[in-house]
Amino acid sequence: MLLVSEPVLGDEEKAALAAVIESGWVTMGDRVREFEQAFARLHEAEDSVAVGSCTAALHLILHALGIGPGDEVLVPSLTFVATANSVLYVGARPVFVDIGSADVPLMSLDDAESKCTSRTKAIILVHFAGYLAHRDAWQSFARRKGLLLIEDAAHAPGLPEVGSYGEAAAFSFYGNKNMTTAEGGAIIARSRTLRETIRQARAHGMTSGARQRLTSRRPDYDVTILGFNYRMDELRAALGLVQLKKLPEWNDSRRRLSATYRELIAELCPSVMVPFEAPWPSTHHLLPIVLPPATSRQRIIDRLRKRGVQTTVHYPPVHRLTFYRDLYPELALPRTEDFARRELTLPLHPKMSTLDVDKVVDALAAALAADYPMGAVA
C-alpha cells in the first residue's frame, strides 16, 4: 500500500536515540536547547521554544497573550480540531471563518471582516497543506482591527517567512509531518518577553528546570505563573536534530513530486482540480485534490485502495464535528463544506518517486473513468 504519509527514519535517528539513552539524561536538557536554537536558525528567528505538541504550542501562545473568557478568536473550520480546541482551553470562543474558494482553501479575509466584533482579540491563520497565507494582507487586516495574529504552522516548517506574520507561530512534529519527533512541537515568537513567558509556562510555571538545578547545584525553585506540563524530552529533541538537517532536502523533494502530480493530473484527470496555482510558497505537506461535483468520493477511495493507493481527507470541517455542531447548531460555511465534501488527499512524502506519482495518477484516472467513461466532467 502506498501510504498518504510516511516518516523517514534510519540509522542516524537510531544512533541519536541510543546516545540519549547512554547519556542517562532523558528529560528536558541540553539537546532540547540545541534543537530550539537550530530550529530558530532555520527560520531566521532569534529563538524558539520546544514543546510536547503543536496543540500545546497553540495553547501556550494564547495563554501567554492573555486571551481568555469573553474573548473571541477567528479560526478556520478547514483545519485539524486542535486549532479550535486551543481557543476553548483558555476559555475564549472560536469564531469559524469560511475559506476563500476551493482553489485557494485558506481563510477568507472578507468573511473574517464580517465576523469581527468588539470581543474579537486574535486570529489563528492556518497554512493549510503547507501553502502560506498572504502575509501582507493579514498583517494589514490585523493592524486595522487591532488583533493579535497567530500562525498555526503545523504544515509549514522550514520556510524562513513562517513565524514572521504576527505574535507567534506553532509548529508540529507529529509522525505524519514534514519532519517528525513522533510527538512534539515548537513555538517561534518575535517578542523575547513572550517567549520567556511561554518557556516558563511549559514547565508548570517553575523558575528553573531540573537540568538548571543540577548545573547550578541549587535545588530550590519558585512558581510565579500558572503553567502546564508541555515539555519536550531529550529523546524527541535528538530525533528532531537529525530530522531538521534533512528537512530542506525533503521539502524540495515534496515540491518536485507536487509539480509532477500537477502535470499528470492536468493531462490525465482534467476534471480534477489541484488547489493553489503554482508557484505558491509552500512546504508541500499535503497533495489535496478536488473531485468533480457529481463524483462519489467513497467509490474513488475504494477503487484507489484496491490498486494499492491509500487516500484520506483533510479535513472534516470542525464546525460539523458533533462536539462543535452542538455548540454552533446554526452555523453554515458553504465554501468550506463544499470543499470538504469533494477534497481527497493523495500520497505525498519523500520516500516516493516519480514512478509512484505515475501509479497514483493512473489509478485516479482509472477510478474516475469507471464513472465517466467519456472522459472529462464539467
> In terms of Cα–Cα distance, which of 109, 102, 160 is closest to 133?
109
User: Residue 58 to residues 43, 99, 224, 285, 353: CA-CA distances in angstroms?
Assistant: 18, 21, 21, 19, 34
CB 212 within 8 A of CB 186: no
Q: Which helix (DSSP H) or strand (DSSP E) does residue 322 occupy?
A: helix 322-327
Rounded CA separation 2/308 (Å) = 6
Rounded CA separation 77/276 (Å) = 18
| Rounded to 5°, angle at Cα 334 from 332 and 340 | 105
Residue 254 one-letter amino acid: R
User: Residue 200 to residues 62, 65, 248, 262, 264: CA-CA distances in angstroms?
Assistant: 14, 14, 30, 45, 50
Residue boundaries of the structural domains of the chain: 11-241, 247-369
Please report where in the chains the cell 494499492 appears, as a residue: 308
Predicted local distance difference test score (pLDDT) of residue 195: 98
Rounded CA separation 313/29 (Å) = 38
Residue 312 one-letter amino acid: T
pLDDT in tens, 351-370: 999 999 999 999 999 999 98
Rounded CA separation 330/306 (Å) = 39
Rounded CA separation 6/176 (Å) = 6
> In terms of Cα–Cα distance, which of 294, 312, 309 is closest to 368?
294
> In terms of Cα–Cα distance, which of 158, 377, 198 is closest to 285?
158
Average pLDDT over residues 14-39: 97
Beta strands in the chain (DSSP E): 49-51, 72-76, 93-97, 120-126, 148-152, 168-172, 185-189, 287-290, 343-346
Predicted local distance difference test score (pLDDT) of residue 208: 76
> Which CATH code of 3.40.440.10, 3.90.1150.10, 3.40.50.410, 3.40.190.10 fits the domain covering 247-369?
3.90.1150.10
Predicted local distance difference test score (pLDDT) of residue 321: 98
User: Which listed residue (14, 121, 177, 351) is catalytic?
Assistant: 177
CB 354 within 8 A of CB 258: no
Cell numbers given for 133: 497565507
Read off the pTM.
0.95
Average pLDDT over residues 87-105: 98
What is the share, in percent, of the chain residues with pLDDT greater than 70?
96
CB 7 within 8 A of CB 350: no
Q: In the annotation, is 177 catalytic?
A: yes
Q: How many other CB atoms are found less than 10 A from the CB of residue 257?
A: 22
Q: Does the pLDDT at position 373 exceed 80?
A: no
The 10 Å CB-count burial string (b at 16+, else e) for 185-201 is bbbbbeeeebbebbbbb
Under the banding of pLDDT at 50, 70 and 90, the label for residue 105 is: very high
Residue 22 one-letter amino acid: E
CATH fold of 11-241 reads Aspartate Aminotransferase; domain 2 (3.40.640)
The 10 Å CB-count burial string (b at 16+, else e) for 40-52 is bebbebebbbbbb
Backbone φ and ψ of 262, nearest 5°: -60, -45
Rounded CA separation 164/172 (Å) = 17
Rounded CA separation 234/24 (Å) = 10
pLDDT in tens, 301-326: 999 999 999 999 999 999 999 999 99
Q: Which helix (DSSP H) or strand (DSSP E) does residue 140 occupy?
A: helix 135-145
Cell numbers given for 318: 470542525
User: How many CA atoms lie within 13 Å of 304's alpha carbon, on the beta-carbon side?
Assistant: 25
CB 124 within 8 A of CB 153: no
Average pLDDT over residues 26-47: 97
The three-class DSSP label of residue 345 is strand
Cell numbers given for 6: 510516511
Under the banding of pLDDT at 50, 70 and 90, the label for residue 255 is: very high
User: Is there a common fold for 11-241 and 247-369?
Assistant: no
